[in-house]
Amino acid sequence: MADMNTDIIEAFRANAGVLGADVAGGYFDGKRLVLLHHVGRVSGKEYVTPLVAATDGDAYVLVGSMAGAPKDPAWVANVEDGPGETTIEVGDQTVGVATTVVRPTAPEWERLYGIWAEYWPAAKEYETQTDRKFPVIVLEPKA
């Protein structure tokens, strides 16, 4: 997974955030990705994770699906336990964002998850792989 992420990050940065059919087997062709910067809550190590991002107004909506794995990806806990803000790379820009993790018990979860699932049709397949509901992460650009 790390090698695939490295390839995606390099292609993202080389092409101002646009990934075509020649990257990751075309899996992300035509979709918006962001590079999420986060710090490991245990290791303290800095990470960059490429993620599919839908939009809700000016905000970016991410989901911790990990393709339907039984547990949340580590980056979700890193963001949740973090300072409530981070940076993302969008296109050729780096943007400061406020972070909010929305769990399935929250009233806005269904609406936000619906936005992402509509944008990323593979979500339906991911849902069949697990009984868990995926956390939603909202990234609000800071002024």
Residue pLDDT, tens place only, 94-132: 999 999 999 999 999 999 999 999 999 899 999 999 999
CATH class of the domain whose range is 32-141: mainly beta
Q: Which residues contact 82 (CB under 8 A, 6 or more apart)?
A: 38, 39, 41, 99
How far apart, in Å, are the Cα atoms of 64 and each of 7, 16, 67, 73, 140? 20, 24, 9, 6, 17
pLDDT at residue number 23: 74
pLDDT at residue number 3: 76
Residue pLDDT, tens place only, 1-50: 567 889 899 999 999 998 877 776 677 888 899 999 999 999 999 999 99
Residue pLDDT, tens place only, 61-101: 999 999 999 999 999 999 999 999 999 999 999 999 999 99
The domains of the chain are located at: 32-141
